[in-house]
Amino acid sequence: MPSVLSLHITPDCSLPKRCPFCYELAAKHSKAKPLQWFMDIPTIARDIGVEQAPLGGGEATLNPKQLLCLAAKFRDNDIIPNLTTNGMNRIKCNNLFGIISFSFDKYKISKIGLRNLVKNIKYYKRTNKETKIGLNYLLLDKDSLYHLPKAIGFFNDIIDNFYVLHLKNNPVDYSSNDIRHVLYPLAAIMKDRIFVDDSIQLLLKRKEYCHFGSEMMTIDFDGAIRGCSFAEPFGYLDKVSDLKDLAAKYPLQRCYKCPYTKNV
Ligand SMILES: C[S@@+](CC[C@H](N)C(=O)[O-])C[C@H]1O[C@@H](n2cnc3c(N)ncnc32)[C@H](O)[C@@H]1O
Ligand code: SF4
């Protein structure tokens, strides 16, 4: 059974113009479930052994009241909720999240502004002393790979963990040497603060890069259930009470696009 249950609670986003690579745009959209529908998931998730629940979307902070209510329900069931956000909105999180991760790439920065993003990250850090603060750094192109050390230097004081993610759908063809030259020196300095996803593990020619989806299951805003965000759905959840049965049928498939991250 997966220990990580990722919920995409809305397809909507706060950015005036969406990131062109966003996987929510690529998904075939059907009707979004009301946020209330997600509220019964935490109790069942506890029964199937879930330990962490990353909450995202779309942009999950668009509806702060319901987001926080859902996060509190996960806490009540001894599951750690995490949040992934573009960092545009400030919401009061009351230390509910285990990790708050801010996404960083040129598209978001051009809309939000670096100054605003930094101010907002500092706000979340100041008001959530028990929460780890992460940066999801997306490798969009070779430039973004070579700018990674500069970005880490810039954010070093306000970010605890750096999650380096490979662009899915249209990945850039780096050589494993390109990646090694940038990542290994950083990893040596940063110790256990840099994490990379499966596609990067693959580029680093690691033996154990694919988790067969065993650590992660995703429920989309329309009830579609998949392994990681980029895998094909293996079912649709209509009644939340069916989650236990669906999780038991969870097919372990090799998927090289898993966003699940491990230390470099
Ligand atoms: C879809 S977003 C949802 C949360 C929030 N709106 C945000 O941007 O952080 C979740 C994460 O997936 C990343 N992402 C979106 N599309 C992707 C893609 N095609 N390949 C790799 N990562 C992607 C985003 O950069 C972000 O870090
Ligand atoms: S900010 Fe997040 S949800 Fe919005 S378009 Fe970009 S990746 Fe997608």
- Cα→Cα distances 93→58, 159, 180, 204, 238, Å: 18, 17, 37, 36, 29
Centre of ligand 2 to C-alpha 21, Å, is 8
Strand 52-56 versus strand 132-139 pairing type = unpaired
Lowest mean pLDDT among 46-50, 70-74, 250-254: 250-254
Nearest 5°: the CA angle 230, 233, 235 is: 155
pLDDT at 205 over 80: no
Which residue lies with its CA nearest to atom 14 of ligand 1?
A: 22
Centre of ligand 1 to C-alpha 223, Å, is 19
Q: What share of the chain is helix, strand, coil (3-state, %, to 5)?
A: 40, 20, 45
pLDDT interval class at 75 (50, 70, 90): very high
What the block records as the tokens of 159 is 């970010």
The per-residue pLDDT for range 106-121, each reduced to its tens digit, is: 999 999 999 999 999 9
Centre of ligand 1 to C-alpha 132, Å, is 19
pTM above threshold 0.85 = yes
Q: Is the CB of 27 under 6 A from ligand 2?
A: no
Domain ranges of the chain: 4-263
Q: End-to-end distance of the chain based on CA atoms, in angstroms? A: 25
* Nearest atom, ligand 2, residue 56 CA: 3
Among all bound ligands, the one having the nearest atom to the CA of 171 is 1
| 168 within 8 A of 249, measured Cβ to Cβ | no
Q: Is the CB of 169 under 6 A from ligand 1?
A: yes
Q: Is the CB of 220 under 6 A from ligand 1?
A: no
Centre of ligand 2 to C-alpha 185, Å, is 30
Q: Domain 4-263 adopts which CATH fold? A: TIM Barrel (3.20.20)
- Average pLDDT for 138-153: 94
CA distance 124 to 119: 9
- Residue 126 confidence (pLDDT): 98
- Average pLDDT for 200-207: 75
pLDDT at 9 over 90: yes
Q: Which of 262, 241, 264 is nearest to 44 (CA)?
A: 241
Quick one: angle between helices 176-190 and 148-155, nearest 10?
Answer: 20
Centre of ligand 2 to C-alpha 144, Å, is 18
List phi, psi (to 5°) of 104: -135, 120
CA distance 241 to 92: 30
* Nearest atom, ligand 1, residue 22 CA: 16
